[in-house]
Amino acid sequence: MEPILLIGASGQLGTDLRRTLPQGALIPLTRADLDVTDRDAVERVLAAHAPAWVINTAAYHRVDDIETKDARLAFAVNEVAVGHLARVCSRLGARLLHLSTDYVFGAGPPGPYAEDAPPAPLSVYGQSKLAGERLVRDASLDHVIVRSSGLYGLAGSAGKGGNFVETMLRLAREGRDIRVVDDQVLTPTYTADLAGAIAQLLAVPPPGGIYHLTNAGECSWFEFAERIFDLGDVARKLTRTTSDEFGAAACRPSHSVLSNIRAVTLGVPPLRAWPEALQAYLRAKAHLAD
Q: What is the pLDDT of residues 243-289, one digit of tens each?
A: 999 999 999 999 999 999 999 999 999 999 999 999 999 999 988 76
Q: Where are the alpha helices (DSSP H) in 140-178?
A: 164-173
Q: In order of start, what are the domains of the chain with their CATH numbers?
A: 4-160+187-216+252-272 (3.40.50.720)
pLDDT tens profile 203-219 = 999 999 999 999 999 99
Q: What is the DSSP letter of 161?
A: T
Are 96 and 143 spatial neighbours (Cβ–Cβ below 8 Å)?
yes
pLDDT tens profile 157-206 = 665 568 999 999 999 999 999 999 999 999 999 999 999 999 999 999 99
At residue 140, the 3 state secondary structure works out as coil
The answer to whether 281 is a known catalytic residue is no
In the set 103, 125, 190, 211, the catalytic residue is 125
CA distance linking residue 16 with residue 155, whole number of Å = 8
